[in-house]
Amino acid sequence: MTTASKGAYHTGVYRNVFSELGYEDNVIQEKLERTWAELLNGDPDVRIYYPMGDDMGYFLDTGNTDVRTEGMSYGMMMAVQMNDKNIFDRLWTFSKRFMQHTEGRYKDYFAWHCKTDGTRISQGPAPDGEEFYALALFFASSRWGDGPEPYDYSVQARQILRACVHKGEEDEGDPMWDPATKLIKFVPESPFSDPSYHLPHFYELFAERADEKDRSFWKEAAAASRAYLHTACHPETGLSPEYANYDGTPAPVQRHGDYRHFFSDAYRVAANIGLDWEWFRADPWQVEQSNRLQAFFRDIDVADYRRYTIEGQPFDEPALHPIGLLATNAMASLAADGPDAEHFARLFWNTPLRDGVRRYYDNCLYMFSLLALSGQYRVY
């Protein structure tokens, strides 16, 4: 697999890895559209989207039977990539109506999870939701234009990002990015980060579309996140912890668990690095990192995926989301140029969506990988 010297943001040309491997374009497109349809309206044991009333809908975390800003914002990003304005607006309407705070210390942030009737379970936000909401809204503005509130997408996106940067300066609350390091926090009140939250390719676009006074901040945040991932990813295995300090070292054990190891959250790091390379090609380290990660997993069967220390030692605990991990390992092929890139892309192509109780997270990562590897995860 070859890589161009400039990313798709600059060239407008997006790699179709599946086409490079010999799959026909019409077959690729049919698989993409069929997968989206299955997520929305497929078999009850596969679908993750559920309509609500005349103008809303939600992505269900089937393993926890709740609705999360992670899944809602992911669904909006998928919908704008698939040019599905109806689903986008339904997800956004639910998010605005039930999840976004209108006052208090979390004003303009979103309660990170709620029941399927919209009743909030927790009030606090999870910053990965806010960053996906913001970019999905900017893309919607570019694809479909701004409409009346709350469908004035670009206005809504800037409002979210304004809170993320400036919360606490003139009102109560905490910002979602650490002002000193320019690194995204795990939650606004935490003194550490989550490597899988780091989306420098998003911040590059925020640096063009956010409030003008904040554009230099987002440019600095992109550079800071790329540098941070160098320290958060192990230099030999490529594995990263779920939570990490601002220096990249694994964060201490939390009251709600031990997140010093490579497990569910951390899978997304490979996908994020792959997409950053595809869009911007700003950091050659990302190629080496993607090769390392794929080399670690090359001889491990998907059914044998487990929790690992970042040094690569397996626990007895199996992976909770093995298809999701396969999907992100495959998405790393956007950056990887080693002998394992083709292997993972083909293995992913031949693997169906996950069914069963734990399918939500796997199938979200599956759809993102399918979009990316078919050249359809684009900047709008």
Half-sphere exposure of 189 (CA within 13 A, CB side): 7
| Residue 124, helix vs strand vs coil | coil
pLDDT for the residue numbered 5:
77
Give which of 158, 167, 273 is closest to 218, Cα–Cα: 158
For residue 302, being part of any structural domain is answered with yes
For residue 337, what are the domain limits? 1-42+234-380
For residue 124, being part of any structural domain is answered with no
In angstroms, rounded to a whole number, what is the distance separating the alpha carbons of residues 272 and 276? 6
For residue 339, being part of any structural domain is answered with yes
Say which residue the tokens 């950053």 belong to.
276
For residue 217, being part of any structural domain is answered with no
Catalytic residue among 61, 66, 70, 214: 70
Over residues 74-96, the pLDDT tens digits come to 999 999 999 999 999 999 999 99
Identify whether 174 is a catalytic site residue.
no
For residue 354, being part of any structural domain is answered with yes
For residue 130, being part of any structural domain is answered with no
Catalytic residue among 38, 130, 214, 265: 265
Tens-level pLDDT at each residue, the chain (380 residues)? 444 579 999 999 999 999 999 999 999 999 999 999 999 999 999 999 999 999 999 999 999 999 999 999 999 999 999 999 999 999 999 999 999 999 999 999 999 999 999 999 999 999 999 999 999 999 999 999 999 999 999 999 999 999 999 999 988 999 999 999 999 999 999 999 999 999 999 999 999 999 999 999 999 999 999 999 999 999 999 999 999 999 999 999 888 889 999 999 999 999 999 999 999 999 999 999 999 999 999 999 999 999 999 999 999 999 999 999 999 999 999 999 999 999 999 999 999 999 999 999 999 999 999 999 999 999 99
With contact defined as beta carbons under 8 Å apart, do 10 and 278 qualify?
A: no
Tell me the pTM: 0.97
Identify whether 288 is a catalytic site residue.
no
pLDDT for the residue numbered 255:
82
For residue 299, being part of any structural domain is answered with yes
The CATH number for 259's domain is 1.50.10.10
| Side chain identity at residue 352, one-letter code | P
Domain count, the chain: 1
Burial (Cβ within 10 Å: 0-12, 13-18, ≥19) of residue 174: middle
- Bridge partners (DSSP) listed for residue 100: 110
In angstroms, rounded to a whole number, what is the distance separating the alpha carbons of residues 76 and 140? 9
- Bridge partners (DSSP) listed for residue 122: 113
Q: At what angle do helices 359-373 and 322-331 cross, to 10 degrees?
A: 20
